[in-house]
Amino acid sequence: MLVSDFDYRLPEDLIAQRPLDDRAAARMLVVDRASGTWEDRIFRDFPEYLRSGDCVVVNNSRVFPARLYARRRSGPARIEVLLTCRNSQDPSIWEALVRPGRKVRTGETLYFDEGLRAEVIGRGEYGERTLRFSGVLDVMATIERIGHVPLPPYIRRPDDAADRLGYQTIFARERGSVAAPTAGLHFTPEILARIPKLAEITLHVGLGTFQAVHAQVVEEHRMHHEMFEISPAAAEAIRSASRIVAVGTTTVRTLEHAGRQGPIASGRGETDLFIYPGFQFRVTGALLTNFHLPRSTLLMLVCAFGGRELVLEAYQHAVKRRYRFYSYGDCMLLL
């Protein structure tokens, strides 16, 4: 398959720049895979589509302020650093994207506020850097203070104090994501009260989720590893459900990775699972998801679940009806 097969045109003014004040008032395009039809609803109607025996599964990863600004020893230029993944063996080491990348060489040191510094100890295939942090007693606490909310580049404004709450789901508990699991942003306590059975799993969103596809052929793309965890209580709830309603593509990838060997079991690990059309779903029975960028692995996953033609036709409908797109935008429920 060609990556260009997952393209569509989107007017820039449909890209949501801020969340709605009422999260549950987001529009929801409900797509019936069996009939190939859809209807326009609002997210507040979501519980009406649940059946007896359903388990709604959400990602409880919490976004941390992963965008930092550094200076070099020489020159006034500011270096933007986006932390993407913490080393599981050495918590002082992180993978990161840097901009402008051509100026940051292996062996040099970057200097941040409050005495935090980082040595560049490696470079990846697509310009990623490996950083070793030092200079402070608690690196993570310092990052929490000086970092910025890592809003995606299509949100064309600086982050502000409101984003520290607005770019988190109400399930956010486990720190580790550099992008929000955005399908969960629509939930409110009132909606949760109407959901009979809910399970929380964790996948820390990193490059595996938002890295651009550089290949022209879908099958040639390789995903980065992302860390996940499924608790014993969540595994039991998932196994006992008659249908799994997955909230977000990160939840789907975690469930389908864990379900490849049989019934869902508790545990932690890493996944680089790449889901695109032709994938055989073993766990996911319904999917709630936001609208995703053209040519992205997220859109490919949704097309794998709903069918490429149907999903792209539904996207065209959403454009015509002026749905709000991407992280702070509206959502789609595929049944």
Nearest to 204 by CA among 58, 56, 60: 60
Say if 153 falls within a structural domain.
no
Question: Are both 167 and 287 inside the same structural domain?
Answer: yes
Residue after which a domain boundary falls, among 83, 117, 146? 146
DSSP-assigned letter for residue 325: B
C-alpha–C-alpha distance, residues 9 and 27, integer Å: 20
Ordered mean pLDDT values, 10 residues apiece, the chain (335 residues): 97 97 97 98 98 98 96 82 89 91 86 96 85 95 96 94 96 95 97 97 89 92 93 98 98 97 93 97 98 97 98 98 98 98
CA 7 from chain center: how many Å? 20
Question: Are both 48 and 142 inside the same structural domain?
Answer: no
Question: Are both 113 and 49 inside the same structural domain?
Answer: no
pTM: 0.94
Question: Are both 258 and 109 inside the same structural domain?
Answer: no
Question: Are both 31 and 96 inside the same structural domain?
Answer: no
Number of domains in the chain: 2
C-alpha–C-alpha distance, residues 102 and 119, integer Å: 16
Say if 76 falls within a structural domain.
yes
Residue 230 belongs to domain spanning: 3-63+160-334
Question: Are both 71 and 52 inside the same structural domain?
Answer: no
Burial of 13 (0-12, 13-18, 19+ CB in 10 A): exposed
CATH number of the domain that residue 102 is part of: 2.40.10.240
Question: Are both 228 and 192 inside the same structural domain?
Answer: yes
Question: Are both 219 and 240 inside the same structural domain?
Answer: yes
Say if 154 falls within a structural domain.
no
What pLDDT, in 10s, does the model give residues 113-129? 999 999 999 988 777 89
Q: What percent helix, strand, coil does the chain show, rounded to 5?
A: 30, 30, 40
C-alpha–C-alpha distance, residues 29 and 333, integer Å: 6
Say if 127 falls within a structural domain.
yes
Say if 181 falls within a structural domain.
yes
Question: Are both 52 and 118 inside the same structural domain?
Answer: no
